[in-house]
A and B are shown apart, each in its own frame.
Chain A
Amino acid sequence: MNPMTAPVFHEWRDKPLDEALLECRDMVESPDFDTVGRWREAGGMVAGHFQVVFPEEIVHAAGMLPFKVRGAPVEPNLADSHFGSYLCSILKTSLELALRGQVRLDMFVSHPICDAARNLAAIWGRNFDYPCQILYLPQNPNSSGSLDYLQHEYDRMRRIVEEVAGTEITDDDLRNSIKVFNENRRLLRELYEIKRDTPWLIAAEDAYAMLALAGMIPREEHNELLTTLLPEIRQRTTRPEDRIRIVFEGGFCEQPPFDLIRMLGRTSYVVDDDFLIGFRWITDDVPTEGDPLRNLAEAYIERSSYSPVQHDLRKPKEKMLISRINEARAEAAILAAAKMCEPGLEEQVAYTHALDDENIAYFVSEFEENMSSFSQLELQLETFVEHLLFA
């Protein structure tokens, strides 16, 4: 099904680790999304899916490239006139990429993660002829009806993707895709183990780049990249430094600028985070026996992470954050939110109150994917870290 005979991301291959990681960073930092263009030039089709969670296996099973639409550090010159003022940047820059033709899609899917994003499929649909769909992931996962519902919703999405791709998606196709994605999730768990257990072996921005590539290259290629680079990272002989271990919270949708992550890594060890949490949403292998869509639906509801945009009575966000901090043996948290991100900003209040109760140090901040000056933020963060180190 894969139309590619050559990989879409070849630059990292056959290079020493540091150079390979540099290529990863360059590819992720670039707003050109070359890998998506290469895929299309080879005759492949692309399904863009907006943050946060999407069952990419369905698109993969049809031989299409699932592309995570996550905005980019570009000026929304064309998109600006399609939106009002008080909005986060990721909405505008995501549409900008499509309006510019920088990223060409064959279908677009969003999920009503927030009040702003739930408008996106309608806006996209008024500007492009291809199908622009909303996938309604259950907002009442505590209902006994949610599993049946989600299985059906995934089946509905299968039919849409089949129509776009012009090919049938069999259960076996889905099972094969689940295997590929299980392997990917296992490798990402390994990446995060390294971050947690030996954070001195990998810079925060390198770990981020390796993660983010998942959304812009075929998963088989991503698996190959991780399988090659993770053992090399483990073999590094870098010595640990006396740095604060922190958890970064607030990267579930709009992404902080690369330089901000780099800056965080200079001042501390980022031992866990929620960057692009959709790639790590499912926390365990999805069974490959039985009905594949039901298995995917069950994994979404029963074996999954958390974010401010999913309501689940079993997963109070502040308790989940405290677990994340404790499991990562972190000493502090960065509670960030993208500017104008309502769910993120609302969650900050609950987080700060809960961390106060637990006597866990935190640093509250806002960011925007387009911001380019960090000197003041870096100064504040350094002061925060020094306070913790020398208190």
Chain B
Amino acid sequence: MTTEAGPQELVGRGNNEGAAMFRDWFTDLGRVAETGGQCAYVFVMGSTNEILKTFDLPVVFPEINSLQTAVRRVAHEYLEEAEDYGYSPDICGYVKADVAVQLRKGDHPMGRIPGPTITVLTNACNTYIKWAEIWERMYGTPTFTIDVPGTRQAGKLTWRGDRDFEADRHYVEVQLRELIDLCEEVTGRKFDIDRFREVLGYANTMSRCWNRVLELNCARPSLFNAVTDGTIFLGVANGFRGTEEGARYFERLVEEMEHKAEHGIGQTTEEKYRLLFVGVPCYPIFRKFNELFSDWDATFVNSTYLWFASGGTNRGFEYDLDDPLASLAEGMLVSVRDAMDSMFHQSDVLQEMITDFSADGVIYHPIKSCRTVSTGLADGRRHLTEMTGIPSLFIESDMMDRRVISEAQMKNRIDAFFEGLESRRRQELAGATK
């Protein structure tokens, strides 16, 4: 935290720098596409950037490419093109938007996306596997699945030393070694253990800082919007994982957030209600969606999206640089498992978070496109309500497909939710003054 900056330069710096880095990132990918250079296709839950960056492979996150088409309001063009090719309206919009990007030879609103030299995925989302099979068929380039076993039963986590954990960790490590062999083959470069340690060191800084940033948002007023600002931070956490730029960005982000916490600088919204967000953002109406809440002076203080879509790096796991590969295997296992738990077993963690973040309500946003995230949310909500009684709202829409988003209906339900919250608060106030 060595940066000397005045308060004016500090506040909002993370958003500005993050957006600029992303523009540069897409420009760099365009350059790779133009020059026919190599790149790796990866996913946010278990990107293995730690290995790929050791080989200096540029990474492409098709999930991010797809959501960008929605944010830029052209997703429908891509979805329709993939549907014309044969993909059903009932499958993941991210996949379909990407299929159209590939059919258009990389043409994308942010620039040109290069085709894959290698694809690396985990099993954290089954659609990753089906998605990668599409590229296998299109390009015939190597695909490597890192199979990361998750939690077997709610509340039955295993840790280092437990025989079941060690079996899982060993399995992940074997696969990571095989991935390294494949990267050597694809790039024609030898694996450099010193470079690997350097990359892990940057990743450690990012995980530590990411954990700290999330924790700092317990402040009242909250420091950043977990849905809007948080998505920018998340982009850097994924795209720049294991890089010096990424580490530097997150150190500066912590500096900004600590400054805001120290000086009581919150979001631009008056913070009347503090909300937790569960699910994936509504990208086709990204800003508008947030306004439906901020109009009621509500802020999002945390979100399960920031956990699972960062591949569980929110846990802040730091690699042991003395035993880097075994430690990467352990870190991947613990972090990707945590990402999966954030989707399948999130209600226990939410209970703690309601207290830690002084939340007034929970917004569930299941989406048509993503069954990984959405399938268990109705049942999880029932469970959370039984355990805590916290008010919650359940609104279904999509992260890509505006055909299933009804803004008017959404607004009615959100308004009704806040009217309920206001009434509840008045009653509590009346009860307290009696």
Contact = CB atoms under 8 A, between A and B. Distances in A.
Whether both chains belong to one complex is answered with: yes
Interface of A: 81-87, 91, 112-116, 118-123, 125-127, 131-136, 138-140, 142-146, 148-149, 152-153, 156, 308-309, 311, 313, 316-317, 337, 339-340, 342-343, 345-350, 352-353
Interface stretch (B59-67, B90-98, B405-413): B90-98
B150 A115 contact: no
A139 B147 contact: yes
B153 A125 contact: yes
A120 B376 CA distance: 7
Interface stretch (B22-30, B81-89, B250-258, B298-306): B81-89
A35 to B, nearest CB: 27
Given A84-B375, A145-B170, A149-B171, A133 B130 contact: no
A120 B151 CA distance: 13
Nearest to A136: B149
A177 B126 CA distance: 32
Given A136-B152, A152-B167, A81 B382 contact: yes
Contacts of A122: 154, 344-345, 376, 379-380
B123 A112 contact: yes
A345 to B, nearest CB: 4
A163 to B, nearest CB: 12
A87 B376 CA distance: 11
8 contacts: A84-B396, A119-B343, A126-B382, A126-B383, A135-B152, A146-B147, A148-B170, A149-B147
Contacts of B125: 115
A20 B347 CA distance: 49
Interface string B361-396: 000001010111011111110110000000000001
Q: Which size class do B's interface residues fall under?
A: 35 or more
A313 B374 contact: no
A340 B382 CA distance: 24
Nearest to B127: A115
Contacts of B88: 337, 345, 348
B174 A112 contact: no
Given A136-B152, A350-B134, A353-B86, 7 more contacts: A84-B366, A84-B374, A112-B123, A126-B347, A145-B170, A311-B133, A343-B130
Nearest to A347: B130
Contact of B380 (A126, A140, A313, A337): A126
A84 B164 contact: no
A313 B143 contact: yes
Interface of B: 85-88, 90-92, 95, 123, 125-127, 129-130, 132-134, 136-137, 143-147, 149-154, 164, 167-168, 170-171, 173-175, 178, 343-345, 347, 366, 368, 370-372, 374-380, 382-383, 396
Contact of B378 (A82, A120, A316): A82
A36 to B, nearest CB: 23
Contact of A143 (B151, B174, B374, B377): B174
A118 B133 contact: no
B153 A116 contact: no
A106 to B, nearest CB: 14
Nearest to B123: A139
Contacts of A144: 174, 178
A192 B370 CA distance: 37
Contacts of A87: 371, 375
A118 B147 contact: no
A84 B126 contact: no
Contact of B85 (A127, A316, A340, A349): A349
A115 B131 CA distance: 13
